[in-house]
Amino acid sequence: MNAVGTLEAYPTTDYRSYRMTVHSELRPQRESETSMRFSKSLRANFYLASGFAIALFSSSPVHSQTREEKVLGDKLKFESNGLWYYNDLTSAFETAKKTNQPLLVVLRCIPCEECVKLDDDLLESDPQLQRLLKSFVRVRIVGTNGLDLSLFEFDTDQSFAVFFFNADRTLYGRYGTRSDRTAWESDVSVQGLGKALESVLQLHRGYPANREMLVGKQANQPLFATPEKIPSLASKYTGKIDYQGNVVKSCIHCHQIGDAMREHYRTDQGKLPEEWLFPYPHPKSIGLILDPKECATVLQVVKNSPADASGFQVGDKIESLQSQSIISLADVQWVLHHVSSDSGTVNAIVRRGEQSVPLSIALSNGWRTKEDLSWRVSSWPLRQKGLGGMLLKPSTDEERSSLGIDATQMALTVQHVGMFAPHDRAKKAGVEKGDVLIEYDGRRDFLRETDLLAHAINKIKTGQSVPMQFRRGEEVRKAAITTAP
């Protein structure tokens, strides 16, 4: 699982120059966050002494911890309290069989500062969660080495995800998502997790009579059984984290699974399937804004969206999609992820007052491409391959006005240019930070970086030189950047 919460958190990609640029800007924020974490560490002693089993506390900042210290410290803490299975799914399933309890499995990136915050906010102090979690066998997995991909299929751009299983390995549902690099508040909450836990316990009580509603939630048969068997990872990693050696470098992060699979498809097919280029569409891409404090309950319906056309109303609680029980926003994304990229229909049943109301969502060709890729950690390898290492943002209205470019034309301002190989091809072509990209491959209709990335990855052949035009003040500059494998 990758540390995607800060600009410093892309361990498999070279962003040294970008990190140096933003370091001074982030320092005051980090010092403030450190102070907040210190106050939390003072509470830790009280909670641990009182037997609060699920506390996930950040470390006292006597010194700045290395990634290795964070990983080893997390292992020591959870193994010593004896109430979580740590990287031991097999023993957890055995216990669940004996106790007839459901499993709660947390996939968690230790170094990720945003995930420290998420861990604290979701699991530190809510008494309702304490009570509910006692009904689960709890498992903490901090690396994906050896992870059974026939059980765990998920959005690999996340660094915190929760899975709920029956002891026979039937999946009840998923919790946890993100639609922004740092902001989680619109997607997850303490209350929302509590509602998901209650829903899982209800499903568990009804199992196996409700098995039909769970069939579609199970992971598909993977191309590779475990992450270290994916070709680009096979020569670098083993099936276990090396706690006795280089613990940090031995760990396979979540995002590396997605990156490796995209590399496999691009090598094998010359392009990416759209479900790998635009994975796990967020409900807002079809016009559904869900309440993070509830269990898949509609907070807002975007006008003139597919959800609006299908008749969704504020307050509707989604009971099922495609005949699958729904416990969270992540479950909705699972269903959308498996809808055809060309077009499709999603059948829903919502609870509206005292009634169950059937609805049908019609998705037209291209619906999936409305997603935004720019926040995803996986967008960095795509930028390297298709854009030569440029990071682009839509130009502001002021920038457009100064350049005489109207809102219907392409204007993407270069925010960053990679300084080191293999991310320096744009730099070598003469591109500089602040340049405005106005034409790519003869086209001027790409209004988002996402649209440009999709075209570069799936429409341009590997090794092809792509002509581009930039504005640098009043000057129009031309450049050609070759796409990479």
Q: What is the pLDDT of residues 121-160, one digit of tens each?
A: 445 557 888 889 999 999 999 889 999 999 999 999 987 8
Mean pLDDT of all residues in 171-188: 87
pLDDT of residue 79: 67
Closest CA to 36 of 130, 116, 149, 106: 116
pLDDT of residue 38: 32
Q: Tell me how far CA of residue 8 lies from CA of 14, 307, 346, 426, in angstroms.
A: 10, 37, 39, 21
d(CA 319, CA 49): 40
d(CA 379, CA 259): 9
Out of 65-74, 184-193, 208-217, 278-287, pick the least confident. 65-74
d(CA 178, CA 219): 20
pLDDT of residue 175: 95
pLDDT reading at 59 higher than 80:
no
Mean pLDDT of all residues in 37-55: 32
- Please give the residue that has the higher pLDDT: either 60 or 168: 168
Average pLDDT value for the chain: 85
326 in Cβ contact with 296 (< 8 Å)? yes
d(CA 277, CA 258): 10
- Please give the residue that has the higher pLDDT: either 87 or 314: 314
Query: pTM of the predicted model, to two decimals?
Result: 0.84
Whether a cis peptide bond, with omega within 30° of 0, leads into 281 is no
384 in Cβ contact with 330 (< 8 Å)? no
pLDDT of residue 34: 35
Q: Tell me how far CA of residue 247 lies from CA of 71, 115, 370, in angstroms.
A: 8, 19, 39
> How is residue 237 written in tokens?
């990693």
Task: Mention every residue, 6+ apart, whose C-beta is less than 8 A from residue 437.
Answer: 390, 392, 410, 411, 412, 413, 414, 452, 468, 469, 470
> How is residue 79 written in tokens?
């193994």
- Please give the residue that has the higher pLDDT: either 74 or 358: 358
pLDDT reading at 276 higher than 90:
yes
pLDDT bin (cut points 50, 70, 90) of residue 98 is: very high
19 in Cβ contact with 87 (< 8 Å)? no
pLDDT of residue 72: 74
Portion of the chain with pLDDT greater than 90, in percent:
69
d(CA 367, CA 306): 9
Whether a cis peptide bond, with omega within 30° of 0, leads into 208 is yes
pLDDT of residue 185: 81
> How is residue 91 written in tokens?
């023993």
Q: Tell me how far CA of residue 73 lies from CA of 136, 443, 481, in angstroms.
A: 24, 52, 45
d(CA 311, CA 157): 31
pLDDT reading at 50 higher than 60:
no
d(CA 203, CA 188): 21
